[in-house]
Chain A
């Protein structure tokens, strides 16, 4: 079995000691750009465990190959396209290529209804609820330390205290709606905002969140 490189952890420790308060508890994304060949499940598990053991909130990956994407998803990590480093049109450019490779049979099939999920109970700290192919509706609150993820929109009929990530497969038109906003993290199509960046005027209000020109916009319902 491949061993994680000791120098990786040394570098991580150094980074952490240079800005300890900044990184602890901050959402972390693992970038695979320079390691396209890395696809060892055990190695990845160890790296993920080590990063989390240091108190970092690892939740996503970026620049992954198809194989890495599959592995990452198996570990509950979300593939993201983040910020300007990975402009959205790069993603779009790759889409037709894929369909050219393998003329997809889906074209002939009638369009499938998205697989929406409704959860009729509060989402507790430590739980993660995913709607892989549709909208996610939570009738209840999402606790601090809980995570809700959807390919489509997220609706929360309760207080959002944890993390919500809509458009997790890259849908920039996805939205998050919540009855009361106290979130730790909001993300749409990989663009995210942490609680300290969320304006005080939106706290404890009923809001919707959408993307506009690659920026997260929060709107209050009056």
Chain B
């Protein structure tokens, strides 16, 4: 590398923003969303890495379609058995996207706060966005995944137990994170409503978006419809936004545009809902 190239790179320091994808409840779509959001960010040219914090389950690399390329993992790096560069897997479709897989065999206790911080700090030197796929629950693994976050995407299904767990997680985000403990700006939290099914809402089997937002009282990042496209994409190891266009992929693209601060009208399924959420739950909040 020549000196001038070197300087040009240094001038454009990476953003280094840490975003946790969390929920409390399991099976609501965290990993699906972490994969889709990181791929959509990378597609827009942002250097992005997605980290699997769900030690022992290892779903992320399957959804990203790189499970056969895993040699070293996040835990190896934390325990000093491999260098970060060796564990990072470059996505074959997008050269702006990397995956840091987790271990399927190690114990959850292998994650330490110091270890996580060191890895994140090293990633911040290189990436604009560091997306953390949290395990379910509110125990250690989930708390470590959120601890260093700048922003949080709280994945919620429109049903009572999911909403209640999300509320619990919002409480932890405002008390058990580095930002909360050091009195800095709060972790910016937004809710991503997934597996939205208008028919089941109309039938009274699921909560309405309004009810969910009234309880959680944070801005709405997006509404992802229940869609067979999600299952199909995950079966072939493709983040849904890199698969054929579908209502779900469009909804994730819109959510990522909002994550980046763009104003995008809220679309529910294929219909537009002009202004409604904008008015009631102002995104400026």
> For the complex, is B144 an interface residue (Cβ under 8 Å from A)?
no
- Inter-chain contact A143/B174, CB cutoff 8 Å: no
B164 touches A125 (CB 8 A): yes
Instruction: Please report the C-alpha to C-alpha distance between residue A127 and residue B175 in the assembled complex, in whole angstroms.
Output: 10
A141 at the interface (CB under 8 A from B): yes
Chain B positions within 8 Å of A, measured between CB atoms, are 138, 164-165, 167-168, 170-172, 174-175, 214-215, 217
A121 at the interface (CB under 8 A from B): yes
List which A22-64 residues lie within 8 A (CB) of chain B.
none
A142 to chain B, nearest CB (A): 11
Residue of A nearest to B24 (CB): A125
Map CB proximity to B onto A126-166 as digits: 1 under 8 Å, 0 otherwise. 11000000000000110111100000000000010100000
Q: How large is the interface on A (under 10, 10 to 19, 20 to 34, 35 or more residues)?
A: 10 to 19
Q: Are A141 and B215 in contact (CB under 8 A)?
A: yes
**B168 and A125 contacting across the interface, CB-CB below 8 Å:** yes
Q: Which residues of A contact B217 (CB under 8 A)?
A: 122, 140-141
Q: Do A145 and B167 touch (CB < 8 A)?
A: yes
Give the shortest distance, in Å, between A27 (CB) and chain B (any CB): 18
A110-131 interface bits toward B, Cβ cutoff 8 Å, 1 = contact, 0 = none: 0000000000011111110000
CB neighbours (8 Å) of A125 from chain B are 164-165, 167-168, 171
**Beyond known contacts A122-B217, A126-B138: 19 more, CB 8 A cutoff:** A121-B174, A124-B167, A124-B168, A124-B171, A125-B165, A125-B167, A125-B168, A125-B171, A126-B172, A140-B217, A141-B214, A143-B167, A144-B164, A144-B167, A145-B167, A145-B168, A146-B171, A159-B214, A161-B215
Flag if A126 contacts B215 (CB, 8 Å): no
A146 to B165, CA, bound (A): 12
Q: How far is the CA of A124 from the CA of B218 in the complex (A)?
A: 12
Chain B residue contacts of A141, Cβ below 8 A: 214-215, 217
Q: Which of B164, B167, B171, B214 has the most CB of A within 10 A?
A: B167
Per the bound structure, the CA–CA distance linking A158 and B220 in Å amounts to: 19
A178 shortest CB reach to chain B, Å:
15
CB-based nearest B residue for A144? B164
Residue of B nearest to A140 (CB): B217
A122 to B138, CA, bound (A): 19
Shortest distance from the beta carbon of B166 to any chain A beta carbon, whole Å: 9
8 tightest CB-CB pairs across the interface, nearest first?
A: A124-B171, A125-B167, A125-B168, A126-B168, A143-B167, A127-B171, A122-B217, A124-B167
The distance in angstroms between the C-alpha atoms of A181 and B8, with both chains bound, is 60
- B138: chain A residues at CB < 8 Å are 126
